[in-house]
């Protein structure tokens, strides 16, 4: 297993803690693993000329990552 050490400012740390609580995660490692998985999917979609779209009700936004 590889160790990753990050220094987060207060705002970023609060965001991380909020996301951990939202997704019911116990560790920051779990959160970063989930984030990396999402970025991997996004990279595949973009590499295959796909498009990322976020939809909420009738609103739709194209995502640029």
pLDDT at res. 36: 96
CA–CA separation, 13 and 26 (whole Å): 14
From first to last of the 65 residues of the chain, give the pLDDT tens digit. 888 898 999 999 999 999 999 999 999 999 999 999 999 999 999 999 999 999 999 999 988 87
pLDDT at res. 42: 92
Query: What DSSP letter does each residue of the chain carry, written as one string?
Result: ---------HHHHHHHHHHHHHHT-SSHHHHHHHHHHHHHHHHHHHHTT--EEEEETTEEEEE--
pLDDT at res. 4: 85
pTM: 0.77
pLDDT at res. 1: 80
Q: Write the CB contacts of 39 (distance below 8 Å, at least 6 apart in sequence).
A: 65
């Amino acid at each position: 297993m590889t160790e990753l050490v990050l220094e987060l400012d207060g705002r970023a740390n609060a965001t991380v803690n909020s996301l951990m609580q939202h997704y019911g995660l116990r560790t920051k490692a779990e959160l970063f693993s989930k984030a990396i998985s999402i970025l991997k999917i996004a990279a595949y979609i973009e590499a295959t000329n796909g498009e990322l779209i976020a939809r909420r009700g009738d609103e739709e936004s194209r995502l640029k990552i």
